[in-house]
Amino acid sequence: MAPTQGYSFQKLYADVVADDGTVAVLYLTWARFWRGWYGRASVERYHPDGRLEQITLAGPAKPAIEDSLAIGAFHFDPPAGAVTLAFETELGEWQPGGCPARGLDWAVKRARTRATLRLPDGVHSGDGYIDFVTMTETTKGMKLKTLQWGRAHLPGRTVIFEELTLTNGDLWRVGLDAAPDEPLVAMPATIELDAAGRGSVRVGSTTLAVTPVRALHEGDALDRRRIPGLLDRTVARILSGPVSQSRRLGRALAKRDGEVSARSEGFILYERVTFGESR
């Protein structure tokens, strides 16, 4: 992806949810100021007992993800030992149009993967997901208010949803509901989740009854646990302003056209983010 002049922020998000409820997220982020890129890489590992572990990696010098997507692996060699996220694609790329926020592009690079994260102290395998966000305005400049996002991987089926609201009242809701042999097309989405993360999500002809299992993160999205370095944290706060995040792991029970099948339940990873004065 060719860099633009001035400010640009790009972020790759890749997750894996293991059968035991371990959740791991690989982040690769780059911020461009005038002519230079500032890169950062990390893994967040959420243990079933509630512990959050932050693993800092060497950030790539500039955005370059296509080679890793093509070979199905992201690899790092920190001093503590090799870190590799390998994946097999089960559902490919999906990029819904119509986002009302100027300067924001959200692209799902892999809607569903079978992923394995190898860390120096263990291996976690499960269903995964990868997306990529590009911003050519700061979150303040885009006038973001709230974001709701989630992905549910059910046996043989994947549901993804996003709802974005702006401070001017613009609202964007979009979703994906697909099996491996079906086309990836944008569908209307309805999200009705309460403050505890319980409720329902409807995408296309599928309705998910969502029950939270545990909170993974509650509060400041840019706190010291997640961004240990003072410089990194300061830069992030300058660019985004106050950001609050509620991220949860839950269980989703799916109904298609009102019917519950025998194989219709799985993990859902979902979150709500609020920006600035809307915290």
Chunked in runs of 10, what are the mean pLDDT values of the chain (279 residues)?
Answer: 60 96 94 74 93 85 82 90 95 91 93 97 96 87 91 95 94 94 94 96 94 91 66 65 88 84 85 75
**pLDDT of 221:** 62
Structural contact between residues 42 and 58, judged by C-beta atoms closer than 8 angstroms: no
- What one-character DSSP code corresponds to residue 276? G
Nearest to 184 by CA among 256, 113, 258, 110: 110
Q: Which is nearest to 268 in space by CA: 156, 149, 178, 182? A: 149
The answer to whether residues 39 and 29 touch, using CB atoms and an 8 Å cutoff, is yes
- For residue 94, give Cα distances in angstroms to 88, 203, 231: 16, 15, 34
Sign of the dihedral defined by the CA atoms of residues 209, 91, 94, 13, in that order: positive
Residue 269 in contact with residue 17, Cβ under 8 Å?
yes
Distance between CA atoms of residues 264 and 273, nearest Å: 28
Q: Please state, in angstroms and rounded to a whole number, the distance separating the CA atoms of residues 39 and 132.
A: 15
Instruction: Tell me how crowded residue 197 is: count the other CB atoms within 10 A of its CB.
Output: 22
Query: What pLDDT is attached to residue 78?
Result: 84
Are 112 and 153 a contacting pair, CB within 8 Å? Answer: yes
Q: How far apart are CA 193 and CA 16, in angstroms?
A: 23
- Give the Cα separation of 253 and 199 in Å (integer): 11
Whether the CB-CB separation of 244 and 269 falls below 8 Å is answered with no
Q: What is the pLDDT of residue 56?
A: 87
**DSSP-H helix ranges across 29-168:** 66-71, 139-142
E strand map for the chain: 8-18, 23-33, 36-46, 52-57, 73-76, 83-91, 104-119, 122-135, 144-154, 157-166, 171-178, 189-193, 199-203, 206-220, 243-256, 265-275
Tokens of 268: 């859902």
Q: Which amino acid is at 96?
A: P
Nearest Cα residue to 16 out of 108, 149, 160, 128 = 128
